Structure formats: structure tokens, C-alpha cells
Amino acid sequence: MGILSEILAHPMEQPGVEEYDVLVIGGGIAGMEASLDLAEMGFKVLLVEKDPSIGGKMFLLSKVFPTLDCASCISTPRMAAVAHHPNIRVMTYSEVKSIYKKGEGDFEVEVLKKPRFVIEDLCTGCGLCEKACPVIVPKEYDFGLRGRKAAFIPFDTAVPKIAMIDIDHCIFCGQCELACPVGAINFLQKPVLYKFKVGAVVIATGYRLFPITRKKEYMYGKLANVITAMQMDRLLSPTRPFNSVLRPSDGREPMNIAFVLCSGSRDRTVGNPLCSQICCMYSIKQAQLLMGALPLADITIYYMDIRAFGKGFEEFYRQARDMGVMFVKGRVAKIEPAEDDNIAVYYEDIENGGRLRKAIHDLVVLSVGILPNPGIAEVFKNAKLEIDEYGYIKQPENYTSPSETSIKGVFAAGCVVGPKDIPDTVVEAASAAAQAAAYLREVRSK
């Protein structure tokens, strides 16, 4: 058990109970859209996000498919709008611990606010503590491609832009305290348990990436030049770790790149038989961006089926083929090391008799599938939130009321109910907000 875990086990209780119309759990694109829609309708919203900043995973992306619009240009204005809306209170680095339904339109909620070991009202986001800190650890927001300090601001456009101390890696040297011009560092800060009353709940806890180390035959974590698609998106992003797309082992620009689709999706051997719905298109997006970043590189996509089901998706796929991206139909059986830190890919060549073939690439990208974030059902203490066999929230009325759950007054949006892309997530968030507003008006009119 780390230092932070021990500290979190003994929170202080904030006296009193605050009231809000709606609790939104999750500050990604779905949670932000639902919060803004409800706030614009005049409802008081409490938005709780477990990470130090709102924004979710969208702001980590380079561009979105199939339009290739800038992802951060879409998400960053929404982050600012949420933070400055008078009807929205944002609690970051916080977790909902329990929800009790006391009656219709009446939920009691406990939220644990974890300590940043920085006084939020004093911190100006200057970053001097980060510059002074001597400890370097892998940066979560870059999926370990570069490091961060133990005293750090999560990223340049974080909302709120407030520093925090990674207490489990801190060596207590005091350099951050000496560097802080406003005296905001406080190593004695405690977690605080808040109590709220809300009328409705919107769940938008998003997804987590499939733990690709479970596919041992793909050698992720053992071969430096086998990376995940999220790592590739960071390499392509405007806020990327390096000035170019470089392979991790030697910092060289890769000239022969492979994508392995369905890495952790449509695979009963690892317990995830579902299609993640986004992997084909985000891989094609990355392939197109690589053609621009590395014009001389050869790009190969190994696939079982290309599922280009959305508006403009088929054209996007054909555009990639016309640009020179090679599509090979066949599941990759295993990956092994080759000479010069290159990667040997063994695959079934379905279009040519199903033979086992071998290809050499200098960088392999695993198009990792997605899974639901676990544990949300356990938050509801006296009402049962129904979950399907794959861990997603059940929708009793998929067609007439797509955002409703098994608990009246609790709504869900985004990947928490199933895999989907960003436009579908935004539409579902708007639906959840509309249904939550209708529910509150119905309850309060009685």
C-alpha cells in the first residue's frame, strides 16, 4: 500500500450537506456535454471527475475521424466553458463513494476529494514547483513515452491548471516548497469527504483501454517498438512528446509501420468478444496522418474486417487505400523480435490461401480495444444498477429512452453503455441531459 492509499483511508468529513439538481459522474466529452446542456437549461450541476483535470481522453488525441478535425480544438473550449459556467461546480481529483436513493428526485451522495498537497485557491499554475522537483517518473498522459516530475501540472491546458504532488514518488526534499512563490505546497493536506443531495444522476465514466499485456503473443512491454494506438496518437498530436514520430528503441523515424487491428477486441480468448467500433477508423486515421508526417514510410494494416459503418467512413477507408496504405486481411498470430530492433509479424494471409506468412516492420502499433470502466454499480448502495455480461450499463429501453438505466432518475451516456465514437457519444450525452431535465420537471411538478 502506498502513502496516498493510507492517507485516503482516513478522510476528514466536511460538515453540512450541499444541494444540486444533477450529479454528473465523469468529466470527459460525454460528461462535459451533459453538464453544459443541463446548466444552459438552468439546472445546478455538480460534475465529479476522478482525474486531476476534466477533458477525458479526447484531448489526448491528435485529430478525429473521418474529418481530421483537431481534437483539442474541439475539447479545450468545452473544458473552459464547463469551468466558467455559473451553474456548474467542478470537483476534480475526486471520486463518488456512495449514492443512496431516498425517493424520487432525492439522492444522497458522498464524494471523496483526494489531496493534491497543493492549496488550490493559492496555486497560480506557474509551474515553478515542477521545475524545481528532482524526481522524474513516467507521464501518464503520454502513456510513458516521456517523464514528468513528482511535483507537476498534469498538462499545459489542464482545467483546472493547478499543480499537485505525487506523494508516492515524492522524496520530501522540500525543493517545491522553496520554489513556490505563494506558499501553496501543503504536505499535511487531508482527503475530505463531502455530502450532497441531488435530484438526478448522469453517469459518463467512459472507457478504459484493454490491458494489452494479456495478449502475451504480441509482446507489448517486452519489445520497445511494439506500442499501442494511444501512444501513436500522442506521437502524432500537436502536444506530442517529440518533434517527430520516432520509434522508442533508438529515436529513429520508422519507415515500415504495421497496425494490428482487433488487439483485445472480438477475441473470446481474452474475454472481450465485442467489436470496439472505433479501432478500424482510428487506425486508418493514424495511417493517413503518418503518410503526411513520414511521406516515405510504408504503412500496413492487418485486419479481420474493416467496419466502416458511419457517415463518411467508407470514403475515409477508400481514401487511405488510394494514398497507398496497404490492407492485409488476416489475423496476426504472434509477434517476435527481429534484427536491428525490428519486429517480425506472423499472420494468416486469408486472401492468398490462408497461409502463415512473416513480415518485418520497424514499428508495430497495436490497435487496442476498449472496455467499460469498472465499479460504477458498486457506488449505488440501496438500488441496483443493472450491468450486462460485458460490464456495460444496461439500457432497458434502447430505442425509446436510450439513456435510461434500471434506476429511475439515473441516466447514462457514452462508452459506459457500450463502445462508440465521439459524435455518437455527444448525441447520447445530449439525450441523457434532456431525459434528466424531463425527469426533474416531472418529479417537481407533483
Residues 365 and 388 in one domain: no
Confidence of residue 243 (pLDDT cuts 50, 70, 90): confident
Confidence of residue 159 (pLDDT cuts 50, 70, 90): very high
**With 0-12 CB in 10 A as exposed, 13-18 as middle and 19+ as buried, what is 444?**
exposed
| CATH number of the domain encompassing residue 317 | 3.50.50.60
Residues 195 and 318 in one domain: no
Per the domain annotation, does 346 fall within a domain? yes
Confidence of residue 396 (pLDDT cuts 50, 70, 90): confident
Per the domain annotation, does 37 fall within a domain? yes
Per the domain annotation, does 185 fall within a domain? no
Per the domain annotation, does 407 fall within a domain? yes
Phi and psi of 178, rounded to 5°? Answer: -65, -35
Residues 240 and 353 in one domain: yes
Is pLDDT of 31 > 90? Answer: yes
161 closest CA partner among 55, 309, 239, 279 = 55
Residues 24 and 104 in one domain: yes
Per the domain annotation, does 183 fall within a domain? no
Helix H, strand E, coil C: the string for the chain is: CCHHHHHHCCCEECCCCEEEEEEEECCCHHHHHHHHHHHHCCCCEEEECCCCCCCCCHHHCCEECCCCEEHHHHHHHHHHHHHHCCCEEEECCEEEEEEEEEECCEEEEEEEECCCCECCCCCCCCCHHHHHCCCEEECHHHCCCCEEECEECCCCCCCCCCCEECCCCCCCCCHHHHHCCCCCECCCCCCEEEEEEEEEEEECCCEEECCHHHCHHHCECCECCEEEHHHHHHHHCCCCCCCCCCCCCCCCCCCEEEEEEEECCCEHHHCECCCCCCHHHHHHHHHHHHHHHCCCCEEEEEECCCCCCCCCHHHHHHHHHHHCCEEEECCEEEEEECHHHCEEEEEEEHHHCCEEEEEEECEEEEEECEEECCCHHHHECCCCCCECCCCCECCCECCCECCECCCCCEEECHHHCCCCCHHHHHHHHHHHHHHHHHHHHHHHHC
Residues 311 and 345 in one domain: yes
Question: 414: how many CB neighbours lie within 10 A of its CB?
Answer: 30
Residues 365 and 385 in one domain: no
How many whole angstroms separate alpha carbon 285 and alpha carbon 305? Answer: 16
Residues 226 and 293 in one domain: yes
Give residue 352's pLDDT.
Answer: 82
Give residue 397's pLDDT.
Answer: 78
Is pLDDT of 97 > 70? Answer: yes
Give residue 10's pLDDT.
Answer: 87
Give residue 242's pLDDT.
Answer: 85
What the block records as the C-alpha cell of 295 is: 511521406
pLDDT in tens, 40-57: 999 999 999 999 999 999
Residues 214 and 352 in one domain: yes
pLDDT in tens, 261-272: 999 999 998 889
Given 370, 400, 419, which residue is the final one in a domain? 370
Per the domain annotation, does 134 fall within a domain? yes
Per the domain annotation, does 184 fall within a domain? no
Q: What percent of the chain has pLDDT over 90?
A: 87
Residues 152 and 98 in one domain: no
Which structural domain range is residue 167 located in? 116-177
Total structural domains in the chain? 3
The set of residues, in sequence order, having a beta carbon less than 8 Å from that of 420 and lying 6+ positions away, is 277, 278, 414, 428
Is pLDDT of 215 > 90? Answer: yes
pLDDT in tens, 335-378: 999 999 999 999 998 888 788 999 999 999 999 999 998 899 99
Is pLDDT of 291 > 90? Answer: yes
Residues 195 and 54 in one domain: yes
Given 328, 352, 370, which residue is the final one in a domain? 370
Lowest mean pLDDT of 63-77, 88-102, 112-126, name the range: 63-77
Is pLDDT of 1 > 80? Answer: no
Residues 164 and 233 in one domain: no
Residues 132 and 103 in one domain: no
Question: 385: how many CB neighbours lie within 10 A of its CB?
Answer: 19
Average pLDDT score over residue span 243-260: 94
Is pLDDT of 181 > 90? Answer: yes
Given 326, 354, 370, which residue is the final one in a domain? 370
Average pLDDT score over residue span 233-247: 88
112 closest CA partner among 375, 415, 413, 379 = 379
Give residue 309's pLDDT.
Answer: 87
Per the domain annotation, does 182 fall within a domain? no
